[in-house]
Amino acid sequence: MKKGFCCGTFDPITVGHVDIIERAARLCDKLVIGVVVNYAKNSYFTLEQRTEMVKAAVSHIKNVEVVSFSDHLPTYVMKEGFDVIIRGLRNESDFDYEIGLAQLYDHFFKGSCETVYIMTKPEYSYISSTIVRQNFELDADVSGWVTPSVYKLMKEFKNK
């Protein structure tokens, strides 16, 4: 059984993220989506809100489970026995960042887990959580960049 792990801050989860997750789920028997705390970022939405949005966005995928955590990622991956980490790539700058992470992970995994990349579809390549957030804060219509369930939750969380 191939057990995969796909993680991110998902602040918020976009249609590009969902596309990567749907495609990754076809490669694994079980895919765990990790909503993480990124200490280098100040998140717009809380960890709980982001986790709720991710659960709503991927509820249609049967072999997916959503968790949240703030542990050291390689330690968590080793403890949970994942076979593969799946990451999405939008562009060259993502690749430059991700190659360093893959090399770091390999140091910890010592061959027990592989990092696999899935390229985003061209129609999603310009969509990032940052772009969604910045436009959302200015009351622009971002409904095409997130799922309807996520857009509804974003509006609810903003009005609290």
- Residues annotated catalytic, as ranges: 17, 41, 90, 129
Q: Phi first, then psi: give them for residue 91, nearest 5 degrees.
A: -160, -175
Asked whether 143 and 151 are in contact (CB, 8 A), the reply is: yes
Residue 12 DSSP code: T
Contacts of 70 (CB under 8 A, 6+ apart): 36, 37, 47
Helical H segments across 40-146, by residue range = 47-58, 73-80, 92-109, 129-137
Cβ neighbours, 10 Å, residue 24:
23
